[in-house]
Copies of this chain bind each other. A is one copy, B any other.
Amino acid sequence: MISIILVPLGFYYVNWSKSGEGAGLYSRDWKPDEVFAYWNPDDFYQPVKSVVGVFKGEECINCHKGVTPGIVKDWQASRHSKADKKVFCSDCHGDNHENLHMPTPKVCASCHTVQHQQFVDEKRYGFPSHALAMERALDAKHFVDKPKAEVTACLQCHSVATKCDSCHSRHKFSAAEARRPEACITCHSGPPHPDDETYFNSAHGQLYLKEGDQWDWSKPLKKGNYPAPTCAYCHMDEGKHQVADKSIWKFGLKQINPLSSGNEIKRNKWIKLCSDCHDKNWSAQQLKAMDAERKKTWNKLYQAEAILKDLRSNNNLFPSTELRPPYPGDTKHSLIQRERIGFFEGQASAFYNVSPIERDYFNMWYFGNLGAYKGSAHGDNSFVKKWHASMDENLKDIKIKAEQLQRSEKIKTNTKIIKDIWHKGEYTEFNQENN
């Protein structure tokens, strides 16, 4: 009897058909802005009908020399124009001008099979990974909830999954160019991935900035070919396109066990790679130092989480979850209204619609944790120092706000709890044991 109600309900919520104007899990709940067509062409691109006719490659070039000379020059400088069998515009975009398409990785795969296969292989590492980036964006509840004018910004980077020119800039598609760190930093800068900032502040980045223009970028990313490593040298060693392959700490997003058997294998790959230039022992101890930094960070985050869970249990958050407006998607599907404490259902959703003390936790996790992680991973000590100090400040603020929230309820009855908050943390026995 109940199943007669539940099964259709299930179908209603899970959107099996994935119909609707949007894409992904919640495709029925949103519609794309026009510009989305360029970030996710498979789902949204519609050909422009302004020019009529079927054209051969040479004809494309002849006309576009005048219309868009920049991209023709890029193509002329590319291997595509120099191969025995030239790769023309029409080979990737089609030859019917009323029905052109934006090339997706599948189009590139028709020649670059190995690279595409490696790229797709990355999916088995789960998220974060480049190959899953678009799905991850579209299937996030806060992507649906936010105005589309804002989440356009998300798609620009997450389109790394749906087009190859995120790294190999069109229409030169130069491997040499993609080996340089700038190919990565258009996306990998700022929170939650200050790879740009931390690499360029490191000794590696400093060497690149000083001498990189003289290095021979046509060489493959192999031991002995480069005086200092770049993003790709370490994360795509020997040019492998499954970038997440060596990822141990999962972008800093979660606490993991760095010494699990799977991670032990990855760790040995890192030590081997660092040993292209450094002593094996040195390399191993750098990784241990990073583990220690990570452990310390998560200890801070867990302290903060414990305080917040306590407040939530005692209904001490202000504004309370009842006071805050529901998420639009939840209003629509009123049976599954989520409790509005962002970080308990995935930290990214704590970006929005939370109380100040929850935001302090989010700042710890998003800016502090991830900034410190990239600092210790890339050798930028200034970032480690800066973001640990910031986390300490967040934790302090959390304690102060927690005490104030609790006090308004409990001031007369429970002073012990208040003091207990203060006597945990930076300056306690815990740290003495760890010194």
Contacts and interface: CB of A to CB of B under 8 A. Distances in A.
A252 interface: no
Contact of A153 (B147, B282, B352, B381): B381
Contacts of A278: 68
A204 to B, nearest CB: 9
A226 B70 CA distance: 7
A385 B69 CA distance: 33
Interface in A386-429: 386, 388-389, 392-393, 396-397, 400, 403, 419, 422-423, 425-429
A144 B352 CA distance: 38
Copies of this chain per assembly: 3
A206 B386 contact: no
Contacts of A397: 356
A359 B393 contact: yes
B152 A292 contact: yes
A327 interface: yes
Contact of A323 (B48, B186, B422): B422
Contacts of A293: 149-150, 152-153
A398 to B, nearest CB: 12
Interface string A167-184: 001000000010010110
A186 B169 contact: no
A389 B363 CA distance: 11
B210 A186 contact: no
A393 B434 CA distance: 36
Interface residues of A, number: 119
Contact of A325 (B71, B157, B427): B427
A388 B78 CA distance: 38
A14 interface: no
Interface in A364-402: 375-376, 379-386, 388-389, 392-393, 396-397, 400
Contacts of A71: 277
Interface string A296-325: 100000000000000000000011000111
A93 to B, nearest CB: 11
B206 A319 contact: no
A281 interface: yes
Contacts of A277: 68, 70-71
B35 A187 contact: no
A206 B183 contact: yes
A382 B157 contact: yes
Nearest to A293: B149
A74 interface: yes
Contacts of A216: none
A289 interface: yes
A213 interface: yes
A224 interface: yes
A250 interface: no
A247 interface: no
A347 interface: no
A10 B389 CA distance: 33
A207 interface: yes
A70 B224 contact: yes
Interface stretch (A25-33, A116-124, A126-134, A236-244): A25-33
A189 interface: yes
A328 B435 contact: yes
Contacts of A434: 147-149
A375 B153 contact: yes
A139 interface: no
A382 B318 CA distance: 30
Given A169-B203, A210-B182, A382-B189, A326 B281 contact: no
20 contacts: A37-B285, A68-B279, A73-B227, A74-B227, A147-B296, A147-B435, A149-B289, A157-B381, A177-B211, A182-B210, A186-B203, A186-B206, A186-B380, A190-B386, A196-B201, A323-B422, A328-B427, A351-B392, A352-B426, A356-B396
Top-8 shortest CB links A-B = A69-B224, A149-B292, A153-B384, A156-B381, A70-B277, A153-B381, A190-B382, A35-B289
